[in-house]
Structure 1
Amino acid sequence: MTTQDVTAEPATKSETRKRIPSVLSGPVGRNLGLVVALALLCVIGIITAGDRFGSIDNVTTILRLASVIGVVSVGMTFVIIGGGIDLSVGAIVALSSVWATTIATQTMAADFHWIVMVVTAILVGAGCGLVNGILIAYGRITAFIATLAMLAAARGLAEIISQKKTQIVRVRGFVDFFGGNVAGIPVLVVIFAVVAVLGWILLNRTTFGRRTIAIGGNAEAARLAGLNVRRHTASLYVLLGIACGIAAIMLMARTTAGTSTHGNLYELDAIAAVVIGGTLLSGGRGTVVGTVFGVLIFTTLTNVFTLNNLDTSTQAVAKGAIIVAAVLIQRRFATRQRT
């Protein structure tokens, strides 16, 4: 063995030791932490609720509940990575569900096909997202203010259209399709999985995703590099609006109704799931996989609390503590990376 071989071996071990902390502090480590947190919640659920938690029916219930807010959260991930925020997602879901279940829309769906209701909900969601995007990107209105205004306007319009009444879905084909199963898996869960996979591909394997990360990291640098920051920012809100339209369709199928009360506090749940998943609120970094785990963690937590007959106030306190802890952890990782 030569002198070079002897010196190379310790160097290799040293490099390996350095790589392990860097990997754990990256996306892999953050996602591993989320997996551990979800596993711990499941253990707590089995200990406290026994077979009621571990049954197939309860697992299916958790996945169904996670699917609707999960779709919204995937869209919210793109907006936050791009340096924005949207407080109007819940109201957009409500407006989309109400517009898609009006007598006129359901009559057209009955005469033609239930796809009319699907297209209506998605177009309404995309339209609201476009308004948000134009106000923020071209009107230079702060995202917080613009989406807060949309929250009030969309919810108010939903109440006007529905006259504050619940609109029952009477098109059986719509309910039968979205309320059915594919190979034993609920269609709603399948939709969530498809949206998550498409979101991952869009963020990690396309120019659109790279531009989103670049704009969220430094919008001015991205502009100087030749990116159309305004157009891309507007497209992010349209994307989130489409996600809200899809969520409205899923909610209509799950409740067989459209109402102005749909999507209440969805904006808080979506932002919380995205933050728990490791996406920086300041933009420039985030993962769709982390968001999916964030949604599952919050939904499982709610399920455990419900099975143990704990009130919603206690659930809210627990969620708030988790959000604060997640932000503190993010800051710690950010400080380590700078040093």
Structure 2
Amino acid sequence: MTGLPAQTAPAVKEALGGGPEEQGKGGNGWWSSDAGESTRRNLGLIGVLVGLIVIGIITRPDLYGRDGWWIDNVWAILKLGSTVGVVAVGMTFVIIGGGIDLSVGAIIALAGVWCTTVATQEFGAGGMIFTALLVGLGVGLVNGFLISYGKLVPFIATLAMLVAARGLAAQMSNKQTQQTSNQTINSIAADSFLGVPILVWILGVVVLLGWILLNRTTFGRRTVAIGGNVEAARLAGINVRLHTMMLYALAGLCCGIGAIMLTSIGTSAQAAMATNYELDAIAAVIIGGTLLSGGRGTIVGSLLGVVIFSTITNLFTLNALSTEVQNMVKGGIIVVAVLIQQFRFNSVSQFFKRNRITTAS
């Protein structure tokens, strides 16, 4: 820290993952003190899920009373949210890093259309999966390059990519639905392993890897540092531009995985697939407690956010409520979640300001 202004030293310390005293206490960096708050938030989300289940029991007791219906409905909810859940993992990293990605749905569409072309399907399931992952990764890298080195605002860069990717997908598919003839791909959505749907296995693996990457690696610490204080991260020696590119590449890779999953679910791909997935993913991440301003968030919280929205969709479907009503409810939930975030953030900021004033006096 020698040679740095006194006011920047604490920020650099944060970007490096905390000082020796914090590390020695068994924390994983400067944000380890937020563990209790994250746990309380996640418990609150679980409480919301329990409330939704109670509403389901009250509104449709005939269904909940059937033998075996509970577990079947649980798998149905998880399968319903599996694709959005995978995308939400990538979105969590982007938002924690101080960015936003509005192009995830379009990337899924482009990757899905590209991997279901006649030429690609001739290479079999492996070729289709590789193509989807490569397209997702490539578009994510382009997003990251435009934002990091082109200095475009993430909102503008990814919005432009949303339009461009959907346009390219429509051009490639000639605005037609492309059927998938590969049985291995089609079986991903239909088959189970050890009684658990393969889609749920994929979601579980991606969530686990995302959790490890965020909480147990230098990559995760740097992501939090950049989102919390980008200047401090630079002073700490972090290559912010390169890391930002990697964040969007990761989000694109998750979209590639999501493209395979969604293609399997529909046994086809088209330019209009995954419409509004960006909104669903962002909403789930916000509900899960990730700050839109960056610097804080959890993978588990994002997963719970996805499950909550999937449960709401399932509940509305069981009660024959329209998609329009679902969208209104989702929109209301997002607004409330952002307002709560803003209130909590302002309250914490005021607390620390008062604490500094008291200490100084």
**TM norm structure 1:** 0.90
How far residue 309 of structure 1 moved from its aligned partner, in angstroms, is 1.1
Deviation by residue 1:80-127 (Cα, 9 ceiling, x = unmatched):
000000000000000000000000001121xxxx11100000000001
Distance of 1:142 and 1:88 partners within structure 2: 13
2:291 aligned partner, one-letter code: L
- The answer for the alignment partner of 1:10 in structure 2 is none
Structure 2 residue 64 is matched with structure 1 residue 56: no
Report if the CA contact (8 A) 1:25-1:333 is conserved: no
Spell out the pairing of 1:245-256 with structure 2 (5 A cutoff). Answer: 245-256=256-267
Give the 4+ runs in structure 1 shifted more than 4 A.
22-25
Structure 2 residue 221 is matched with structure 1 residue 210: yes
Distance of 1:179 and 1:126 partners within structure 2: 26
Deviation by residue 1:269-296 (Cα, 9 ceiling, x = unmatched):
0000000000000000000000000000
- The answer for the alignment partner of 1:80 in structure 2 is 95
Distance of 1:169 and 1:215 partners within structure 2: 41
Structure 1 unpaired stretches of 5+: 1-21
How far residue 55 of structure 1 moved from its aligned partner, in angstroms, is 3.3
Distance of 2:71 and 2:238 partners within structure 1: 48
Partner of residue 345 from structure 2, selected from 324, 334, 339:
334
Spell out the pairing of 1:187-198 with structure 2 (5 A cutoff). Answer: 187-198=198-209
Distance of 2:45 and 2:297 partners within structure 1: 14
Structure 2 unpaired stretches of 5+: 1-32, 352-361
Given the superposition, is the C-alpha separation of residues 213 and 171 from structure 1 closer, same or farther in structure 2, using an over 3 Å criterion? same
Deviation by residue 1:186-234 (Cα, 9 ceiling, x = unmatched):
1000000110011000000000000000000011110011100000000
Structure 2 residue 301 is matched with structure 1 residue 301: no
- The answer for the alignment partner of 1:223 in structure 2 is 234
Distance of 1:192 and 1:290 partners within structure 2: 14
How far residue 261 of structure 1 moved from its aligned partner, in angstroms, is 1.2
- The answer for the alignment partner of 1:13 in structure 2 is none
Spell out the pairing of 1:149-228 with structure 2 (5 A cutoff). Answer: 149-228=160-239
Partner of residue 84 from structure 2, selected from 53, 65, 69:
69
- The answer for the alignment partner of 1:314 in structure 2 is 325
Aligned length: 314
Partner of residue 278 from structure 1, selected from 289, 314, 322:
289
Counterpart secondary structure, 1:87: coil
- The answer for the alignment partner of 1:121 in structure 2 is 132
Report if the CA contact (8 A) 1:94-1:260 is conserved: yes
Given the superposition, is the C-alpha separation of residues 23 and 51 from structure 1 closer, same or farther in structure 2, using an over 3 Å criterion? farther
Distance of 2:347 and 2:239 partners within structure 1: 32
1:299 aligned partner, one-letter code: S
How far residue 57 of structure 1 moved from its aligned partner, in angstroms, is 2.6
How far residue 177 of structure 1 moved from its aligned partner, in angstroms, is 4.4
**TM norm structure 2:** 0.84
Distance of 1:178 and 1:104 partners within structure 2: 23
1:207 aligned partner, one-letter code: T
2:133 aligned partner, one-letter code: I
Distance of 2:286 and 2:103 partners within structure 1: 17
- The answer for the alignment partner of 2:280 in structure 1 is 269
How far residue 25 of structure 1 moved from its aligned partner, in angstroms, is 6.8
How far residue 319 of structure 1 moved from its aligned partner, in angstroms, is 0.9
2:58 aligned partner, one-letter code: I
Report sequence identity in percent.
Answer: 59
- The answer for the alignment partner of 1:17 in structure 2 is none
Counterpart secondary structure, 1:165: coil
How far residue 178 of structure 1 moved from its aligned partner, in angstroms, is 4.9
Range with greater deviation from structure 2 (175-184 or 91-100): 175-184
Distance of 1:302 and 1:177 partners within structure 2: 22
- RMSD of the TM alignment (CA)? 1.4
Counterpart secondary structure, 2:296: coil
Given the superposition, is the C-alpha separation of residues 305 and 260 from structure 1 closer, same or farther in structure 2, using an over 3 Å criterion? same
Given the superposition, is the C-alpha separation of residues 334 and 39 from structure 1 closer, same or farther in structure 2, using an over 3 Å criterion? same
Given the superposition, is the C-alpha separation of residues 131 and 24 from structure 1 closer, same or farther in structure 2, using an over 3 Å criterion? closer
Report if the CA contact (8 A) 2:132-2:257 is conserved: yes
1:98 aligned partner, one-letter code: V
